[in-house]
Amino acid sequence: MDKIQEIEFKLDNKTVVLCHLIERGYVFDVDIIYPPHGQWVTKTLHEKAIKLVADRAFEAAVADVLSYTAANGHALIEIDNPCNTEFLQKQDQIAVLQTLGQSLPVKVNGL
């Protein structure tokens, strides 16, 4: 069974970009679903160190969402993990954001 971490990227225009980090053995898929019509982007990362891959998968997702917001005149204002944190804890996500020069609130289960 695949393990999944769901992440919601909340934008300043009250829309949400959904992201799924999916572990399939030593492969991570990053699914990003953009509004309004559910445009779907999938990135696949291959590594042997699951923690490293989860970090890289999250970083790839954040970078993609930041490109999307810049191109559409919006801003990323918050990140929420509505179903716990299967791979990356809150502090891990904050560390990745800092490497990208971002300082955003990160929540787990809305808190």
- pLDDT digit string (tens) for the chain, length 111 residues: 788 999 999 999 999 999 988 887 777 788 888 887 767 777 665 555 555 678 888 998 999 899 999 999 999 999 999 999 998 999 999 999 999 999 999 999 999
Report whether 32 contacts 18 (CB < 8 A).
yes
pLDDT for the residue numbered 28:
78
Q: The domain that contains 35 carries what CATH number?
A: 3.30.420
Domain count, the chain: 1
Q: How far apart are CA 54 and CA 47, in angstroms?
A: 10
The range of the structural domain enclosing residue 78 comes to 3-108
Q: How far apart are CA 107 and CA 36, in angstroms?
A: 23
Phi-psi region of 57 (alpha: psi -120 to 50; beta: other; left: phi over 0): alpha
Residue in the structure block whose two tokens are 């923690």: 51
3-state helix, strand, coil in the chain (%, to 5): 30, 40, 30
